[in-house]
Amino acid sequence: MGGWSAPPYPNQQNLVLPNQGVNPIRNQQNFAQICGEILSENPDLDISDIQVKVNGIVRQIYDRRAWSSLMVRGQIATTGFTTGGSVNVTQGSPLIQGTGTNWTPAIIGQQFRLGFNTPAYNITGLDFVNQIITIEMPWASGNFTSAGYFIAQYYYSIGPSIKYIHTAKNMIMAWRLWLNYNQQTLDSRDPWRATVFTPVALAQMPPDPNGNYMVELWPVPSIVQSLPFIAAVQPPNLVQDTDALPTAIRSDIVTKFGIAWAKVWKGPKFNKYYDKAEADRLRGEAERELLYMAKADEDLYRQNVIYPSESMDMAPDLLSSYRNAIWDYNHGVVAGEGNAEWGGF
């Protein structure tokens, strides 16, 4: 017995999501009304085809802009380091035996490190009674007995339907996190991921095993802290008749795109309601209305204009100014050479 199972990344609950079934006051149609109006323009359509098309139209509109009503607040809650006791590891085995450890299910979804010659392995399971953890891939280095180790949270799955992080900050250091870094950026600066303490950057990762948006914090946080963020989300499909669009999205624009599609569906040979001229007119009108909708959203939450002061107060840039002894040790340069490529010193 003694086995535990849990979601691979436990911080998915750190989001402030809209209340289910509660919509702000709006003067627009729900899902059934949108589909019904499209159907009235072409009664030969199947309602299921209309529903699929409406969701496709809506997703395309979602991708036009970071609409203010498609943003959510959340936090990345860091865990600090887990140490204590020692471990036995065997080459080719995903099982790691702890001795004198006190591991709890909280470490599931965190990463195991023993030295820096192997990657940070995700912990996918824990036998609490026998203090045996399971890592996502077989241990690929040599055999070690009674070895020191540490467990930390390098990777964070932000949550379902997250498209990207819009802004994030480090409250301890009072700086904004860099968001435009990727794995190549971190690999060029710290391939060992040996730098620790408190993050300056949030770098994109491949999706987690559930397909959710995932990031790596660099340096890996060795302390417990909260990193607040605002993220853009992809809402779920419209399904129920009473489902409504997000506040920023006008249903009449969705309906016009839908009717334009219905007017040319299957072409003139099979569509007795075929009217390409009217479809083109409606599509052009909907595109123009989208511009007005974007302007209204910009008035609500400014994004297109960035004041000079808002581009300041970032964390140190790891591509130029963020340096440490580990990086210097592996990137020797001629004394006095001060170009920007080597840190601008």
Record the pTM. Answer: 0.80
One-character DSSP codes across 113-167: ESSSSS--EEEEEEETTTTEEEESS---S--EEEE--EEE--EEEEETTEEEEEE
Distance, CA of 242 to CA of 257 (rounded, Å): 20
Identify the burial level of 226 via C-beta atoms within 10 angstroms of its C-beta, where 0-12 means exposed, 13-18 middle and 19 or more buried.
Answer: middle
| Structure confidence at residue 7 (pLDDT) | 33
| Structure confidence at residue 143 (pLDDT) | 95
pLDDT digits (tens, 9 = 90+) for 125-153: 999 999 999 999 999 999 999 999 999 99
Instruction: Map residue 51 onto helix, strand or coil.
Output: helix
Bridge-based pairing state of the strands 220-221 and 196-197: parallel
| Structure confidence at residue 158 (pLDDT) | 87
Give Cα separations from 62 to 40, 68, 147, 160, 214 (angstroms): 26, 11, 50, 16, 20
Over 60: is that where the pLDDT of 230 sits? yes
% of the chain residues with pLDDT over 70: 84
Over 50: is that where the pLDDT of 22 sits? yes
Over 90: is that where the pLDDT of 308 sits? no
Distance, CA of 143 to CA of 4 (rounded, Å): 26
Mean pLDDT of 28-49: 94
Over 80: is that where the pLDDT of 327 sits? no
| Structure confidence at residue 286 (pLDDT) | 97
Instruction: Map residue 8 onto helix, strand or coil.
Output: coil
Mean pLDDT of 68-93: 93
| Structure confidence at residue 8 (pLDDT) | 34
Whole-number mean pLDDT of the chain?
A: 86
Over 80: is that where the pLDDT of 120 sits? yes
Over 90: is that where the pLDDT of 1 sits? no
Model confidence band, residue 344 (pLDDT cutoffs 50, 70, 90): very low
% of the chain residues with pLDDT over 90: 62
| Structure confidence at residue 256 (pLDDT) | 97
| Structure confidence at residue 32 (pLDDT) | 95
| Structure confidence at residue 122 (pLDDT) | 94
pLDDT digits (tens, 9 = 90+) for 156-211: 988 778 899 999 999 999 889 999 889 998 998 889 998 889 999 999 999 888 88
pLDDT digits (tens, 9 = 90+) for 249-301: 999 999 999 999 999 999 999 999 999 999 999 999 999 999 999 999 999 88
| Structure confidence at residue 4 (pLDDT) | 32
| Structure confidence at residue 81 (pLDDT) | 94
| Structure confidence at residue 33 (pLDDT) | 95
Give Cα separations from 266 to 48, 55, 263, 277 (angstroms): 16, 19, 9, 15
